[in-house]
């Protein structure tokens, strides 16, 4: 660039109000897009970040979801002693049979929503190292205690540690709250298997989670379950299971793209308008520089750069605004389990980079025509004035 950058920067700064308004306008557009991307990302992450390839989820044949899967306790005994299942220090298989029930509970906003309750045991925690208690303690089976994710506690009534809630005509005490790295378990209540099976009168399992000795053993295990005629079950890796559960974010993504394009076009015009004003108001300066020997393409590059800087500063504002929503938690319905799924908006470095690039693209697109106009001013006409 032949024309010094300080020329552009100061020209932007000196037109304080106009530049600020343009930048804030672009900033709002970028902020909306950043927030939408954070939302989509958070939703996607909830399921894709849950699971381990060496852990396997066993369901009834034909079921895709724990909620509508069930099988007998015998099947559990068969499965846990299959070869390839990792053993603990006491030579017990690392396998846990779990029961899932869905309850309806009032949200803090007054509406009711479905929530999944997982009846499990200590092995359930062992197989899910991402489960971390943040308050209180774990439940004890037989005492009708439950623990609840922090995200749910924020969103639902009476889910605080110490609260007692009536579910299925029985009182349960909330004794602890947990986190699981923003994963799918953060949409669940956990209690003891025996308690859940007894209160709901279902002496069955919905699913079994087992840990294979190795990835190869995991594959062999899946095959073996499929081939075993004694049990009508299926096994999938825990990661694949949750990938299947993903609440489709395609609608949201389409909406995000639609809004980005629409607002982007609007912002392009805002930048174009500002930059046309810049060019028209600075014709004598442009003509002077041309007279001094600066070429057309330097002039064009200079104004394009200026437009990009203006847009980028808007991008920075937008990313800052958008980042305020980082961690914001929201809920949506999961249509495969008919229960509420919680997710956190996630602003990642990639999203920030995309937000800034989006601003840059708007700056360049909006700047092209004004920059061209700057390059084509007629020297003799302008210098005469």
Partner 1 sequence: MNKPLIEINELGKVFHRDTVEIRALDGIDLSIHAGEFVCLMGPSGSGKSTLLNIIAGIDYATEGEAVVLDTDLSSLNEDGQATWRNQHVGFVFQHFNLIPVLTAFENVELPLLLTSLSRKERREHVETALRVVRLTDRMEHYPRQLSGGQEQRVAIARAIVTDPTFILADEPTGDLDAESAREVLEVLSTLNSEFGKTIIMVTHDPRAAEFASVTYHLDKGLLTKTVLNGSHS
Ligand X SMILES: Nc1ncnc2c1ncn2[C@@H]1O[C@H](COP(=O)(O)OP(=O)(O)OP(=O)(O)O)[C@@H](O)[C@H]1O
Q: How far is the CB of 296 from partner 1 (least distance, A)?
A: 6
- Taking CB under 6 A as the rule, which mask of x and - marks residues 325-364 in contact with ligand X? ----------------------------------------
Nearer Cβ to ligand X (2/378): 378
Q: Which two tokens stand for residue 166?
A: 């009536």
Nearer Cβ to ligand X (81/376): 376
Nearer Cβ to partner 1 (106/284): 284
Could you give the CA distance from residue 86 to residue 39 in angstroms, rounded to a whole number? 37
The two most distant CA atoms of the chain are separated, in Å, by 98
Which residue stretches of 89-187 are H helix? Answer: 122-126, 150-155
Could you give the CA distance from residue 106 to residue 111 in angstroms, rounded to a whole number? 6
- Taking CB under 6 A as the rule, which mask of x and - marks residues 108-127 in contact with ligand X? --------------------
Q: How far is the CB of 36 from ligand X (least distance, A)?
A: 52
Nearer Cβ to partner 1 (91/380): 380
20 binds, among partner 1, ligand X, none (CB under 5 to 8 A by kind): none
Nearer Cβ to partner 1 (70/294): 294
14 binds, among partner 1, ligand X, none (CB under 5 to 8 A by kind): partner 1
Q: How far is the CB of 379 from ligand X (least distance, A)?
A: 10
Q: How far is the CB of 256 from ligand X (least distance, A)?
A: 51
Total residues contacting ligand X by CB under 6 A comes to: 2
Nearer Cβ to partner 1 (6/169): 6
Q: How far is the CB of 290 from ligand X (least distance, A)?
A: 15
DSSP class of residue 94 equals S
Nearer Cβ to partner 1 (155/290): 290
Q: How far is the CB of 371 from partner 1 (least distance, A)?
A: 16
Nearer Cβ to partner 1 (118/282): 282
285 binds, among partner 1, ligand X, none (CB under 5 to 8 A by kind): partner 1
Q: How far is the CB of 315 from partner 1 (least distance, A)?
A: 23
Residue/partner pairs of 88-95 with CB below 8 Å, 24 or more apart: 88/126, 93/210, 94/123, 94/126, 94/127, 94/210, 94/211, 95/123, 95/208, 95/209, 95/210, 95/211
Where in 365-384 is the site for ligand X (CB under 6 A)?
A: 380-381
Tell me the HSE value of 176 on the side-chain side, using a 13 A CA sphere.
Answer: 17
Nearer Cβ to ligand X (74/381): 381
Q: Which of 169, 145, 165 is nearest to 157 (CA)?
A: 165
- What are phi and psi for residue 132, nearest 5 degrees? -130, 130
Closest-approach residue to ligand X (CB): 380
3-state secondary structure 266-327: HHHHHHHHHHHHHHHHCHHHHHHHHHHCCCHHHHHHHHHHHHHHHHHHHHHHHHHHHHCCCC
311 binds, among ligand X, partner 1, none (CB under 5 to 8 A by kind): none
Could you give the CA distance from residue 112 to residue 104 in angstroms, rounded to a whole number? 6
Could you give the CA distance from residue 131 to residue 151 in angstroms, rounded to a whole number? 13
Q: How far is the CB of 271 from partner 1 (least distance, A)?
A: 20
Could you give the CA distance from residue 66 to residue 338 in angstroms, rounded to a whole number? 11
Q: How far is the CB of 384 from partner 1 (least distance, A)?
A: 7
Report CA Rg, the chain. Answer: 30
User: Pairing state of beta strands 112-120 and 95-106?
Assistant: antiparallel
Query: Which residues in this chain contact partner 1 in the complex, by CB under 8 A?
Result: 2-4, 6-7, 10-11, 14, 284-285, 287-296, 379-380, 383-384
Could you give the CA distance from residue 318 to residue 267 in angstroms, rounded to a whole number? 12
Where in 144-173 is the site for ligand X (CB under 6 A)?
A: none
Could you give the CA distance from residue 248 to residue 220 in angstroms, rounded to a whole number? 30
Question: Contact residues for ligand X (CB under 6 A)?
Answer: 380-381
């Amino acid at each position: 660039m032949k024309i010094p950058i300080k020329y552009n920067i100061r020209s932007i700064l000196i037109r304080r109000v106009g530049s600020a308004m343009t930048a804030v306008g672009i900033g709002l557009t970028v902020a909306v897009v950043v927030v939408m991307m954070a939302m989509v990302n958070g939703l996607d992450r909830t399921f894709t970040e849950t699971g381990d390839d060496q852990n396997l989820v066993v369901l009834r044949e034909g079921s895709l979801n724990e909620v509508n899967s069930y099988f007998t306790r015998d099947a559990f005994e068969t499965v846990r002693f299959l070869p390839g299942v990792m053993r603990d220090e006491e030579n017990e298989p690392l396998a846990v049979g779990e029961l899932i029930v869905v309850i309806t509970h009032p949200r803090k906003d007054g509406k009711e929503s479905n929530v999944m309750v997982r009846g499990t045991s200590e092995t359930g925690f062992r197989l899910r190292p991402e489960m971390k208690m943040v308050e209180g303690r774990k439940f004890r089976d037989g005492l009708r205690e439950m623990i609840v994710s922090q995200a749910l506690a924020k969103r639902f009534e009476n889910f605080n540690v110490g609260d007692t809630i009536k579910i299925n005509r029985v009182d349960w005490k909330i004794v602890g709250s947990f986190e699981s790295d923003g994963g799918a378990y953060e949409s669940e209540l956990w209690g003891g298997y025996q308690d859940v099976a007894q209160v709901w009168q279902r002496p069955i399992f919905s699913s079994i989670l087992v840990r294979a000795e190795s990835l190869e053993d995991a594959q062999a295990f899946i095959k073996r379950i499929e081939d075993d005629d004694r049990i009508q079950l299926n096994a999938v890796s825990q990661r694949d299971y949750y990938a299947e559960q993903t609440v489709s974010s395609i609608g949201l993504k389409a909406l995000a793209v639609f809004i980005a394009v629409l607002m982007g076009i609007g912002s392009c015009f805002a930048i174009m308008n500002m930059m046309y004003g810049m060019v028209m108001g600075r014709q004598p300066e442009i003509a002077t520089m041309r007279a001094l020997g600066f070429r057309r393409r330097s002039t064009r590059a200079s104004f394009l750069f200026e437009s990009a800087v203006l847009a980028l500063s808007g991008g920075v504002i937008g990313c800052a605004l958008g980042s305020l929503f980082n961690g914001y938690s929201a809920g949506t319905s999961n249509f495969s389990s008919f229960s509420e799924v919680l997710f956190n908006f996630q602003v990642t470095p990639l999203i920030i980079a995309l937000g800034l690039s989006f601003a840059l693209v708007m700056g360049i697109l909006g700047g092209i025509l004004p920059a061209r106009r700057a390059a084509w001013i007629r020297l003799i006409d302008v210098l005469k004035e």
